[in-house]
Structure 1
Amino acid sequence: MKARANMNIAGKTVCVFVLLTITKVTRTVGNNRVSATVGNNSVLSCPPQSNATMVTWKINPKVGGPCALGYRADQNKTDRTNCSDSMNWKFRPDRDPALEIRRVGIAHEGNYTCEVVATEGNFHKTYDLTVLVPPRLTLYCDDRGNPVCEAAAGKPAAQISWVRESNSTPKEEGHDNGTVTVLSKFTAYSTNVTNTTCIASHPAGNQSKSIACYPSKNDGFILHVSIILSFLCIFTFMAVTYYFKLHSDRLCHKTKTSETAPTHSPQDDTMEVEPYTTYVQKENVIYNSVSDLTVGQNLPQGLSPAT
């Protein structure tokens, strides 16, 4: 039993010694946050060690798979695994194992770790790389004469402010590549303000532009014209309605009169007069015949009635 206890104590002592040795040999030299502007070159350095036997860059981007760059001093040999041509050694790795990223893009964001194996021990240095995208700043006047400032496709989102005080609230629109567009419309407390300056604050650099906008004078004119046209439309509608109503009443009155009044024509008068005329003519003929006969009977002999 006593021998087993001694063996347990010896085992624990060895474990502690190994852990202390590993802690002493392996040293991590910080975890640094760095940033680079898109399109520029970026250089990441390794812990300086004069007697390095092996150097390895391990890269884990946020988009895409990991890659690695390695150097072995005993073979004076370098190798690369799944790394693009934009990432390479800055100088000769046996002299300076710094990593250079050419034309930094958004896809380069991620963690970069340099591991150095030397006679003094193992050393690590990790970088958290953030890519900055400066926004495209534009300043223009809208159709009502209000200044509008737009910081398009920036990463991170830009902060827009105005030189003269404004109560406007910026609007943000995110894009698939991680950039953000910020839009701000200047709203002045006084209508006399015309010349304004927009300032876009961004980690990649501040930008500013100025513009002079004049309030639109057509708003009042359009309002007056709209009111006048509305009154004209209403008046025209009422006049047309009254006209059709009056015309309809007259048509109804004429229709009723023609239905109740008896029809009369000159032909009917002729038909009524002709029997009377015929009758009178017949009476005259009979009267003349009787007169002639009477006169002929009363005349002396030898005389005849004149024809």
Structure 2
Amino acid sequence: MKAGVNMKIAGKTLCVFVLLTITRVTRTAGNKNVSVTVGNSSVLTCPPKPNTTMVTWKINPNVGGPCTLGYRADQNKTDRTNCTDSMNWKFRPDWNPALEIRQVEIAHEGNYTCEVVATEGNFHKTYHLTVLVPPRLTLYCDDHGNLVCEAAAGKPPAQISWVLENNSTPEEESHDNGTVTVRSKFTAHSTNMTNTTCIVSHPAGNQSKSIACRPSKNNGFILHVCITVCFLSIITLMVAICYFKLRSNRWCHKTKPPETAPTHTPQDDTMEVEPYTTYVQKENVIYNSVSDLTAGQNIPQGLLPAT
């Protein structure tokens, strides 16, 4: 008895599961990834059904708010909410409810869902729109004679490869708008390099360029010369500074003549002795005169006048 009940329950569960699966398959036309290059137009189809009463496009971009496009068959009327002019019906929605996106931009990237209401049920189909931005390819030689390949502002990031084997790792630089710049350097080991080709692979299209670079032989010599010149310039500047500093010290620190003690010359002694000598000479003259007078008159010495 219990086994029969369990079988019935299992059978009902299986039937419900099958019905839900069929309903899901019937009502869901499936999700689809769509890629479109920036600047181009894209058309998203919606499965037309007989006896359609309503069609609605629900758009949820990655940037900005959602918008909707709607059509009602009973009123034969269309409406739009928050959608830009670049999004509109491709044809008449009553017989082909396809959506057209003109001049696709990066901001249009996101999810687009078409919902159809018909007498036989509801159906919907979802697209995930990816916007491709082809990179700008640049190939040039750097100062060391190495090749540099640049795939600028691509979305998604580009893949860079070389015709000749290269061990360098590409560098990526992300930008605010979602694009990425990729750079790869090819080191030239031979002085007789022929044209080397850079290949850029991208979903929006592949590109390639070729160029030949010669490794610079004079880089080491030029660097050595620059270092030597800088060193000599520094030495010369230091010598000039020292020279002018010593010269300025000589001008600023010229010493005054030393204050020496006055010298004693024989002339000074003569000048000091001269008054005394003159006095003595006068006394001698007087004495001699008196002596001569006394001798001539025979006057006794004691009677001589005092001098």
5+ residue gaps, structure 2, are 299-307
Q: Secondary structure at the match of 1:222?
A: helix
Instruction: Tell me, yes or no, if structure 1 residue 71 matches structure 2 residue 106.
Output: no
**Paired residue secondary structure (1:127):** strand
Deviation at 1:191, TM superposition (A): 6.4
Partner of residue 222, structure 1: 226
Give the Å deviation of 1:105: 1.2
Amino acid corresponding to residue 269 of structure 2 in structure 1: E
SS state of the match for residue 31, structure 1?
strand
Counterpart Cα distance in 2 of 1:14 and 1:76: 43
Aligned position for 2:22: 23
Deviation at 1:193, TM superposition (A): 5.2
CA RMSD of aligned residues (A): 4.3
Q: Identity over aligned residues, as a percent?
A: 59
Deviation at 1:293, TM superposition (A): 2.8
TM norm structure 1: 0.70
Give the corresponding residue for 1:42.
42
Equivalent position amino acid for 2:45 in 1: S
The one-letter code matched in structure 2 to 1:204 is A
Instruction: Report the residue type matching 2:83 in the other structure.
Output: C
Q: How many residues align?
A: 283
Aligned partners of 1:192, 1:293: CA distance in 2, in Å?
133
Structure 1 residue 108: deviation in Å?
A: 1.2
The amino acid of 2:224's aligned partner reads G
Q: Who is 1:292 aligned against?
A: 289
Report deviation, 1:21. 8.0
Q: Aligned AA for 2:34?
A: V
On the 8 A contact 2:188/2:213 being kept in 1, the answer is no
**AA paired with 1:274?**
M
Deviations 1:20-76 (A, max 9, x none): 388358332221111111111011122354664543322222223322223344544
Pair 1:79–1:49, CA change in 2 (3 A) = same
For the residues of structure 1 that align with 2:74 and 2:103, how far apart are their CA atoms?
Answer: 32
1:182 and 1:21 mapped to 2: Cα distance?
Answer: 48
When structure 1 is superposed on structure 2, of 151-160 and 18-27 the one drifting more is 18-27
Cα drift, residue 270 of structure 1: 4.7
Rounded Cα–Cα distance in structure 2 between residues aligned with 1:190 and 1:211: 14
1:128 corresponds in structure 2 to 128
2:104 and 2:131 in contact (8 A); partners too: yes
Matched ranges for 1:84-95 at <5 A: 84-95=84-95
Instruction: State the 1:269 CA deviation.
Output: 5.5
Going from structure 1 to structure 2, the CA distance change for 1:98 and 1:14 (only over 3 Å counts) comes to same
Change (3 A) 1:272 1:203: farther
- 2:61 maps to 61
Q: Could you tell which deviates more after superposition, 77-86 or 100-109?
A: 77-86
Name whichever of 99-108 and 66-75 sits farther off.
Answer: 66-75
Residue 166 of structure 1 contacts residue 189 of structure 1 at CA under 8 Å; is this kept in 2? no
Aligned to 1:205: 205
Give the aligned residue type for 2:100: E
- The equivalent residue for 1:155 is 155
Q: CA deviation at 1:103?
A: 0.8
Greater CA drift, 207-216 or 107-116: 207-216
Change (3 A) 1:290 1:190: farther
Mark the runs of 5 or more structure 1 residues left unpaired by the alignment.
1-5, 302-307
